Amino acid sequence: MSLELSPEVFVIFAALVEEAAGIHYRLEDRELLQGKLAARAVEAGFDSLLDYYYYLRYDPDSAEERQELIDSLVVNESYLFREQRQLRYIASEILAPAVDAGRTPRVWSAACAAGEEPLGLAMMLAERGILGRVELVASDISRRALARARRGELSRRALRDVAEPGLVTRWVERSDRGGIVRPSLLGHVDFRQVNLTDAEAVRRLGTFDVILCRNVLIYFSDELQRRVVQLLLERLEPEGTLWVGISESLMRLEPYVTCEERQGLLFYRAGVR
Contact between 173 and ligand SAM per CB under 6 A: no
Whole-Å CA distances, 74 to 20, 48, 82, 164, 235 = 12, 22, 18, 30, 24
Position among 142, 148, 159, 225 found at the interface with ligand SAM (CB under 6 A): 142
| 215 to 244: interface string for ligand SAM, x by CB under 6 A | xx--x-------------------------
Inter-residue contact 74 to 141 (CB < 8 Å): yes
Cβ distance 235 to 206 under 8 Å? yes
With contacts defined by CB under 6 A, how many residues of the chain interact with ligand SAM?
24
Residue 25 interacts with ligand SAM (CB under 6 A)? no
DSSP 56-109: HHH-TT-HHHHHHHHHHHS-----TTTTHHHHHHIIIIIIHHHHHTT---EEEE
Q: Is 74 in the site for ligand SAM (CB under 6 A)?
A: yes
Complex with ligand SAM: residue 140 or 209, whichever CB lies closer: 140
Query: What's the min distance (Å) between Cβ of 145 and ligand SAM?
Result: 5
204 CB-contact burial (10 Å; exposed 0-12 / middle 13-18 / buried 19+): exposed
State how far the alpha carbon of 149 is from the alpha carbons of 5, 108, 211, in Å: 34, 15, 19
Q: Which stretch binds ligand SAM (CB under 6 A): 19-27, 129-137, 152-160, 246-254?
A: 19-27
Q: Of the listed pieces 2-10, 58-66, 68-76, 200-208, which binds ligand SAM according to CB under 6 A?
A: 68-76
Q: Is 145 in the site for ligand SAM (CB under 6 A)?
A: yes
Among positions 111, 149, 158, 236, the unique one binding ligand SAM when judged by CB under 6 A: 111
Q: What are phi and psi of 170, to 5 degrees?
A: -70, -35
**Residue from 83, 139, 75, 151 nearest 111 by CA:** 139
Q: Which of 239, 270, 237 is nearest to 254 (CA)?
A: 270
> Given the complex with ligand SAM, which of 80 and 270 has the nearer CB atom?
80
DSSP secondary structure code for residue 48 in this structure: B
Residues 75-104: x where in contact with ligand SAM by CB under 6 A, - otherwise, as a string: xxxx---x----------------------
Interface residue list for ligand SAM (CB under 6 A): 21-23, 74-78, 82, 111, 113, 117, 140-142, 145, 195-197, 214-216, 219, 245
